[in-house]
Amino acid sequence: MGKVKGFLDHNRAVPEDRLPLERIKDWKEFHKKMPEEALREQGARCMDCGTPYCHTGFMLSGMTSGCPVHNLIPEWNDHLYRGFWREAYERLAKTNNFPEFTGRVCPAPCEGSCVLGIIEPPVTIKNIECSIIEHAFDQGWVKPQQVAERTGKRVAVVGSGPAGLACADQLNKAGHTVTVYERDDRIGGLLMYGIPNMKLDKEAVVQRRVDLMEEEGVLFVVNTEVGKDYFSEKLLAENDAVVLCTGSTRPRDLDVEGQKNKGVYFAMDFLRSSTKAVLSKSAPTVSAKDKAVVVIGGGDTGTDCVATSIRQGCKRVVQLEIMPEPPLERQPDNPWPEWPKTLKVDYGQEEAAALQGEDPRRYSIMTKKLLGDGNGRLTGVEICKVAWEKKEERFVPRPVSGTEEIIPADMVLLAMGFLGPEEGLLQQLKVEQEECSNIKAPYGDFRTSMIKVFAAGDARRGQSLIVWAINEGRAAARECDRYLMGCTNLP
C-alpha cells in the first residue's frame, strides 16, 4: 500500500469518452486515455485490503462477486502508483491471458466487491487494467514466447471465443500442439462478431492477440465447422484430446403472434452483419438505416443493438425491458460484496439520449404481439406494463390491464439471452448434456462423458461473462494437460 491515505486524498475518476454526438459518426473505440499522473492517483486509492474481495471470484446470490480469474489487483495497483509499469504488467499477465479484452468489455465485478465501495465509489480497477496492458503493448513488452520443447501431443480446441482462446493459449504454453477450429471466417467468436467494434476494436485489439498466439505456435483453422466440414470421428482419431468451447449460441426466441414478420431479427445476427460490414467496408446485410427500431432485452447485447442501430442511421430506437427499473443506490437486500443491482447508463443509452432527447429504455414492459401489414412485413409492437408478484417462492410478471399501447416499428431486435449450445456436434460426439442442454462436465474437472473430450466456457456453464470463459478455458487446459501428461504445471 504505497499511499496509506490514497483513498482519502483522491476521488474516483474515469477517463473521458468522446462526446456521444461525435462518436456515433464512426465505429472507433470511444474511451480516451487517461494521463499517467491521474492513473497513478487512481492506483493509490486501492487500500491493499487484508482480505481483497476484488479478486475472490465466486458466485453470490446468483451473481459474480470479485474477479473470476483472480487478478492480483492490489499488487498491480500499487506497482502502478509507484510508477513500476513493467512489474504491474507482469503481475497482471500471471492470471489473465487477455486483459486487453476484459479491460474493455468486462462489467467489472471486481469493482462491485471492492471494499472501498462500502463507503466510497470503488477503485477504477477496469480502466487501470486496460491501461496497464496497453502500455505494455506500446512499450513492446508483450512479445511472442516460444515453447522450448513440444510434448508430441495434439489437442483440438473447438471454438475460438474467449474460453477457446484461453484454453489454447495455456495448452500451447504447456508444449502441446494446439489447433483451434472456428466455423466463421475470422478467429474470436463472441469477441469478433458478438461485440461491436466501438467497444472492442477487431483489428487493433482482437487480431493483435490472435497474431501473437499464432507466432507462439497455436494453429488456427477458420471456415471449418466441426461436425460438418470436419467430421467428429476424424477429430477424435487425429487428436489426443479435444476441448469443446463452442459457446451458448442458441438465442432465446419471443413466442408471440407475429414473430415471423419480416423485420424481426435475433440480436447476434444483426451485430454479426454489422461487424462484418465494418471490417469489409461494405453495406450490412441486416441494416437499421431509416428504420424505427425496437430492441427487446435490457442487457449488454441490447445496449450494443441500440448503439449499432444509431450508427447505421435508424430513425429512432426504443429498448424494452421486462424487469423493473433498478434503484439508484444499493438496497438492503443487495448488500456488499454482491454485484450492485443499481441503475447504470451505458454508452448506447447515453448516445440515444443525446440524439433523441431521452433514455431509450422502458422498464416493466411485456411484448404481447408483433404487428404486421398483412403481407408479412412488421409494422409495430403491441406492449403492456407488468407488475411483478410473488407466486410459489418466485416473482412472476402480471400484465396490467388497460396499459396496452402500440409502438410503431420497422425492425425488432431480440436480445433476450441464450438457451445453450447448439447440439449437432454434441450428439455426434455422444457427450452427455444437462437438462438445460449445457454440456455435462463438472467444474474443476471439465471432462465430459466421452473419453479425452473436455468442455469449457458457456457451452458447459451457460451464458455468462467473458472473464468466466477465460477462467474456464484456463482451468480446462490445466485438467487436459494433467490427462495427457499425468501431472501439470499450469496454474
- Whether residue 1 is contained in a domain is answered as no
Question: 262 and 390: one domain?
Answer: yes
**441 occurs within a structural domain:** yes
What pairs with residue 156 in β-bridges?
179, 242
Q: Are residues 411 and 428 located together in one domain of the fold?
A: no
For residue 210, what pLDDT is reported? 98
Indicate whether 65 and 121 sit together in one domain: yes
Is the domain of 172 the same as that of 191? yes
- pTM score of the predicted model: 0.96
Count of domains in the chain?
A: 3
Report CA 107 to chain centroid distance, whole Å: 8
Residue 361 lies in a domain: yes
State how far the Cα of 152 lies from the Cα of 488, in Å rounded to an integer. 15
**DSSP line for 189-250:** TIIIIIS-TTTS-IIIIIHHHHHHHHHTT-EEE-S--BTTTB-HHHHHHH-SEEEE-----E
Closest Cα partner for 268 from 302, 223, 228?
A: 302
Q: Let me know if residue 411 belongs to a domain.
A: yes
Q: What is residue 3's predicted lDDT score, i.e. its pLDDT?
A: 83
What CATH number corresponds to the domain at position 81?
A: 1.10.1060.10
User: What Cα–Cα distance (Å) separates residue 386 from each residue in 236, 323, 365, 395, 401?
Assistant: 50, 9, 6, 12, 9
Domain-ending residue, one of 390, 416, 442? 416
Answer with the one of 112, 139, 166 that is the final residue of a domain: 139
- For residue 440, give Cα distances in angstroms to 346, 434, 436, 448, 450: 35, 5, 10, 6, 10
Say what the pLDDT of residue 418 is. 96
Do 160 and 208 have their domain in common? Answer: yes
146 within domain boundaries: no
Burial of 37 (0-12, 13-18, 19+ CB in 10 A): exposed
* 453 shares its domain with 471: yes
pLDDT tens across 443-488, in order? 999 999 999 999 999 999 999 999 999 999 999 999 999 999 999 9
DSSP code of residue 435: T
The pLDDT assigned to 392 comes to 84
b/e code 137-155 from CB counts within 10 Å (16+ = b): beeeebeeeeeeeebebbb
88 lies in some domain: yes
**Cα distances (Å, whole numbers) of residue 11 to 117, 121, 218, 370:** 12, 8, 43, 48
What pLDDT, on a 0 to 100 scale, did the predictor assign at position 50? 87
Task: Tell me how far apart the alpha carbons of residues 202 and 195 are, in angstroms, rounded to a whole number.
Answer: 9
Decide which of 416, 447, 475 is a domain's last residue: 416
Q: Are 455 and 403 found together in one domain?
A: no
Amino acid letter at 80? L
Same domain, 85 and 186: no
Asked if 275 and 404 sit in the same domain, the reply is yes
Q: Is 147 contained in some domain?
A: no
Shared domain for 20 and 168, answered yes or no, is no
Domain around 212: 154-249+419-485
Instruction: Examine the domain organization and report whether 14 and 94 are in the same domain.
Output: yes
Per-residue pLDDT at 386 = 97
Compute the Cα dihedral for 27, 35, 191, 263 and give only its sign: negative
Spell out the alpha helix ranges (H) of 288-346: 300-312
CATH number (domain holding residue 324): 3.50.50.60
Cα(371)–Cα(294) distance, rounded to whole angstroms? 12
Residue 65 DSSP SS3: strand
What is the pLDDT at residue 391? 87
106 and 37 in a single domain? The answer is yes
pLDDT per residue as tens digits for the range 192-216 = 999 999 999 999 999 999 999 999 9
Which positions ≥6 away from 306 have C-beta within 8 Å? 295, 317, 319, 348, 349, 351, 352, 360
Instruction: Show the low-confidence residues of the chain (pLDDT under 50).
Output: none
Confirm whether 26 is domain-assigned: yes
